[in-house]
Amino acid sequence: MQEQILKAIEVLKKGGLVVFPTETVYGLGADARNEQAIKKVFAVKGRPAHHPLIVHLASLEQLNNWAVNIPESAIELAKYFWPGPLTIILQKHPQVSNLITGNQNTIAIRMPRHPLTLEMLQQFGSAIVGPSANSYGKISPTTVQHIARDLGNKVDYILDGGPCEIGIESTIVNFTSNIPQILRQGSISAELITKVVGISLTPNNTKPHNIRTPGSSKTHYAPSKPLYLSSSIEFLNIAKLAIKENLNYSYLSFQKCPTQNKHVIWLQAPDDPTLYAKNLYAYLHQLDVLNNQCIVVEMPPLQPAWTAIIDRLTRASKGKISINNNALVIES
């Protein structure tokens, strides 16, 4: 373990790129004080320059090097959830490179809790930028195999930390507006934040003021094959009809596959949202490599525990699939 960490640090110090594990998804790391290295991150991901990066820290003490005018409530929240799947948006410190923040005066910061990465950050002593380690707009990686398929040989070192524990990206809370607001849903819900630190948040349907969050673009986290969402009620009928008509679809459902036909690609998902989230990107990666036309996903229940998952599925999808008069209807 120590050898892997030393190697990763050596690469970071030379301005190279290190893929690192976190509890959410794998990140594409570079020294946050090295502009050449930061530029490489954007180039390798194919990410537009104005889409800002998250800075990853190993300790709360480092916060003041990266942000200014930090509200007490932000500190409280960080103290409660860090290290963990929470990113906070603060006013940026004047010394932070504009490359990181996409020329905005705000900065996104988090402290991840994967032990390998925490150790690497501690020994590195400074911070690293870390977008998810996938090409722009594609599915985030939650295992090193996913990285091999996508960015693979474009990075200098991969720190293998096994499958990610949570599976979807951190919750992002903006503290630069009057009332804090969730900009990206994650495993830490608004209800939990309000419960543990007593902060009330701006409702989600309010458009964030003057702030860009590319992860909130309508299509994101998308597989290369089109993904369509179906209501739970219609799902089996849609699948049966598509199977009968020999359509090359693949399926992600809570229900059992209605046929014994071995050519039908069907993943049965767990009813437990935590387990579902952990495996969500692995399912999408799995359904995406196949020689199929599209992926049909059964909509999870509209309950708070599923909010972040529904958010990611909706962004991954090209539209809806339904059934009408025994015909399939796709609305893109």
The contact set with ligand TXA (CB under 6 A) reads: 22, 24-25, 27, 51-54, 87, 89, 101, 104, 106-108, 110, 112, 130-132, 169-170, 172, 183-184, 211, 213-215
- Smallest gap from Cβ 227 to ligand TXA, in A, equals 19
Question: For 116, how many CA atoms within 13 A lie in the half-sphere containing its CB?
Answer: 24
Least spacing, CB of residue 53 vs ligand TXA, in Å: 6
- Residue 313 CA to its chain's centroid (Å): 12
- In the numeric block, which tokens belong to residue 73? 């409530």
Q: Which is nearer to ligand TXA, 210 or 260 (CB)?
A: 210
Residue 129 or 227: the one with the smaller Cβ distance to ligand TXA is: 129
In whole angstroms, what is the distance from residue 130 CA to residue 74 CA? 21
Report the residue number, 42 or 266, with the smaller CB distance to ligand TXA.
Answer: 42
Retrieve residue 296's tokens: 């049909």
Taking phi over 0 as left and psi of -120 to 50 as alpha, with beta for the rest, 137 belongs to left
* Contact between 44 and 38 (Cβ < 8 Å): no
H or E stretch including 287?
Answer: helix 273-288
Q: Which does 22 bind (CB under 5 to 8 A by kind): ligand TXA, Mg ion, none?
A: ligand TXA
Q: Which does 213 bind (CB under 5 to 8 A by kind): ligand TXA, Mg ion, none?
A: ligand TXA
Picked from ligand TXA, Mg ion, none, the partner binding residue 108 (CB below 5 to 8 A depending on kind) is: ligand TXA
**Which CB sits closer to ligand TXA, 24 or 185?**
24
Interacting partner of 181 out of Mg ion, ligand TXA, none (Cβ under 5 to 8 A depending on kind) = none
Q: Is cis: bond before 203, omega within 30 of 0?
A: no
Q: Which of Mg ion, ligand TXA, none is residue 27 near (CB under 5 to 8 Å by kind)? A: ligand TXA
Closest CB to ligand TXA among 234 and 311? 311
CA contacts within 13 A on the Cβ side of 110: 26
With CB under 5 A as the contact rule, the residue among 62, 101, 132, 142 that binds Mg ion is 132
Q: Which is nearer to ligand TXA, 83 or 239 (CB)?
A: 83
CB 172 within 8 A of CB 182: yes
- Cβ–Cβ under 8 Å, residues 255 and 297: no
Query: What residue type is assigned to position 314 of the chain?
Result: T
**Interface positions with Mg ion (CB under 5 A):** 132
